[in-house]
Structure 1
């Protein structure tokens, strides 16, 4: 099961890379066409906007799974373990509520706009609003899994990295051998 989940997230990362590449090609190509040939791709702006929306929401799913969102956990580190567990679970319940609002709102908007065509491309606007579902459903499941892991003791709240303190920490975690990982002491 773990291998299937890892493969699905690898596919998400590939999809994000393809969406980003598509955005670059569409926008850069349109700029070149406008300046060099006084013409352009009519659907470039609309399609790149849709790519950007999907890229953002799919990236948020990956960041949620890897606990890569920035946050402050200084209060949690000062609390006793049981109080920290209650505080974390309370936050998770609030996140579940917000994610449910995202899912239900995206579902409603997708259904309302399913038969509405985008002006330039003709793509269903339901596809545009469906990005909220592509984020909300996996995020809901990730939050539930995190809650289950905390409740069953699979995750120790005293030592767990539930959020990142800074963007620098994300870079250091991804590239531990970089020169920034071992700063040189200044005299």
Structure 2
């Protein structure tokens, strides 16, 4: 039930990522055409594209984490017996949770500090760009905590989805 809800939320995030990427492409391409063909441009498009790129990067990390697509080195872990693999998984999850807590704390502080600072062209609060890190850290925390709970219950980790597998392997 919770896995399905997470998949639905992440599907919505994927759609937002696709829309943000399309908006970036349109703004940047349109600005290039305007600059070279008409010697003008839309000044705010560069800044908005930068903000969208930050959000795409951080939100995309959460989606990739859910799919098991982040780089990992598991040659040694796969050679261990099941109990050793579970112990390494639990230790890994605990270390990642600690890193995410530090990341979330720093991102939250930066977001609050920059809410009062305005972007030079659009005037948008710079805290909105830093908020992408807060959302990403919170999403990663939830996914890692869910994996830790599954590991403590003795469940094997889910296999990475087919679209994250190397086709040449």
> TM > 0.5 between the two?
yes
Instruction: Give the Cα–Cα distance (whole angstroms) in 1 for the partners of residues 87 and 166 of structure 2.
Output: 30
Instruction: Give the Cα–Cα distance (whole angstroms) in 2 for the partners of residues 94 and 47 of structure 1.
Output: 35
Asked if the contact 2:69/2:164 (under 8 Å) is kept, the reply is no
Structure 2 residue 168 is the aligned partner of structure 1 residue 170: no
Could you list the structure 1 runs, at least 4 aligned residues long, displaced by more than 6 angstroms after superposition: none
Root-mean-square deviation (CA), in Å?
2.1
Q: Against the structure 1 CA distance between its residues 4 and 79, is the aligned structure 2 distance closer, same or farther, given a 3 Å change threshold?
A: closer
Q: Secondary structure at the match of 1:14?
A: helix
Q: Secondary structure at the match of 2:72?
A: coil
Instruction: Give the Cα–Cα distance (whole angstroms) in 1 for the partners of residues 82 and 146 of structure 2.
Output: 20
Superposed CA deviations along residues 97-128 of structure 1, whole A, max 9, x for unmatched, are: 11111100110000001111100111111101
Q: Against the structure 1 CA distance between its residues 94 and 169, is the aligned structure 2 distance closer, same or farther, given a 3 Å change threshold?
A: same
Instruction: Give the Cα–Cα distance (whole angstroms) in 1 for the partners of residues 40 and 68 of structure 2.
Output: 44
Question: 1:62 is matched with which residue?
Answer: 63
Unaligned ranges ≥5, structure 2: none
Instruction: Give the Cα–Cα distance (whole angstroms) in 1 for the partners of residues 92 and 154 of structure 2.
Output: 17
Q: Which has the larger radius of gyration?
A: 1
Question: 2:122 is matched with which residue?
Answer: 121
TM-score scaled by structure 2? 0.91
Q: Secondary structure at the match of 2:155?
A: coil
Give the CA deviation at 1:74: 0.6
Question: 2:131 is matched with which residue?
Answer: 130
Greater Cα offset, 139-148 or 79-88: 79-88
Question: 1:92 is matched with which residue?
Answer: 93
Unaligned ranges ≥5, structure 1: 173-179, 182-187
TM-score scaled by structure 1? 0.83
- Between structures 1 and 2, the one with greater helix share: 2
